[in-house]
Amino acid sequence: MRDGHIHSPYCPHGSSDALKTYIEEAIRAGYHSMTFTEHAPLPQSFIDPVPSQDSGMAYNQVKHYLEDLEQLKEMYKNDIHILKGMEVDYIQGYEEETKQLLNRFGPLLDDSILSVHFLKGKKGWYCIDFSPEMYKDAFQDLGGLEQLYQTYYRTLEMSVVSDLGLYKPKRIGHMTLVRKFRHLYPSPYNWHSYGSQFLDTVKAYNYELDYNGAGMKKPHCQETYPPLPLARQASSMGIPLIYGSDAHQSSALMQGIDAVDQKILKR
């Protein structure tokens, strides 16, 4: 069992479960490999649209986070393979600052994820997975759900294509996050074609996908990111899929795994 997307006590919006608690739980669950991917600090000039402004780790914490992981990696090396990573945001227009962050910390990272959580509307920025209210504000600003999906997939494309330097992550996080509130706000009828087109880009750039179980636990989503048909399509194209629990507490390791097609996972 490999889990390539795990948060930690360094997450300002997560739980305070200790790194050791995650690791012990992972060993109990039979993991052979786990990547901690704490939210990287957001670019300093970017204003987090989330009211509590806690979407990313504090910049001065990164050093401690990586030191703790290095220590635990050594301590547990006979039981489990621990990888050091971050979930880095792709924010359109902030590529230069993101590249600087990656140049600074990239040499210390083993395995990371690039994700899109923030989209720009006419009136400002939105964190699309923060709340149904912010999601609604986003699509109303953009002109509707269809436009929201278009913007999300255009931004995902840019995340793959953009130059973020030598240490740019090669795995794209939760590629259908825009569906998190789909039971409240149904996807446009043709949304699948956006996802499908995006797979062509992932394939062309030899990237990997985070096959993320967290959506299964979200009451308005109840499917994996991406859902089964897209995951199978990706697999048939030869795109590596890496399971991600996206756990923000130790008890959430393995979440959504029953809905994941385990035969197509890259271990």
Least Å from the CB of residue 12 to Zn ion: 9
Under DSSP, is residue 2 helix (H, G, I), strand (E, B) or coil? Answer: strand
User: Which listed range, 88-96, 112-120, 149-157, 188-196, lies at the site for Zn ion (CB under 5 A)?
Assistant: 112-120
CB 189 → Zn ion: shortest distance, Å?
26
Cis peptide bond N-terminal to 226, omega within 30: yes
Q: Scanning residues 123 to 162, which ones bind Zn ion (CB under 5 A)?
A: none
Segment lying near Zn ion (by CB under 5 A), choices 97-105, 150-158, 168-176, 229-237: 168-176
CA–CA separation, 101 and 34 (whole Å): 23
Residues 6+ apart with CB under 8 A from 189: none
Least distance CB 244 / Zn ion (angstroms): 9
Q: Name the residue nearer to Zn ion (CB basis): 24 or 54.
A: 54
Return the range that interacts with Zn ion (CB under 5 A); candidates 56-64, 90-98, 103-111, 167-175.
Answer: 167-175
Site for Zn ion, residues 49 to 68, rule: CB under 5 A: none
**Distances from the Cα of 11 to the Cα of 72, 209, 248, angstroms:** 18, 22, 8
Q: How far is the CB of 7 from Zn ion (least distance, A)?
A: 6
Taking the least distance from each CB to Zn ion, the nearer of 98 and 115 is: 115
Q: How far apart are CB 11 and Zn ion at their closest, in Å?
A: 6
Q: DSSP character for 84? A: E
Query: 174: alpha, beta or left, given left = phi > 0 and alpha = psi -120 to 50?
Result: left
CA distance linking residue 15 with residue 209, whole number of Å = 25
Nearer to Zn ion, 115 or 224 (CB): 115
Within the chain, residue ranges assigned H as helices are 19-28, 62-75, 95-105, 132-142, 145-161, 191-204, 228-236
* From 18-26, 65-73, 153-161, 170-178, span contacting Zn ion (CB under 5 A): 170-178
SS3 (DSSP) at 185: coil
Return the structure tokens found at 79: 């039981």
114: enclosing H helix or E strand: strand 113-115
Q: Does 115 bind Zn ion (CB under 5 A)?
A: yes
Only segment of 70-78, 88-96, 169-177, 203-211 that touches Zn ion (CB under 5 A):
169-177
Residues in the interface with Zn ion (CB under 5 A) total 2
- Would you say 58 or 237 has its CB closer to Zn ion? 58
In whole angstroms, give the CA distance from residue 50 to residue 125.
Answer: 9
Least distance between Zn ion and beta carbon 174 (Å): 6
Which tokens is 146 given?
């269809």
Residue nearest to Zn ion as judged by C-beta position: 115
Nearer CB in complex with Zn ion: 71/251: 251
User: Which positions touch Zn ion (CB under 5 A)?
Assistant: 115, 173
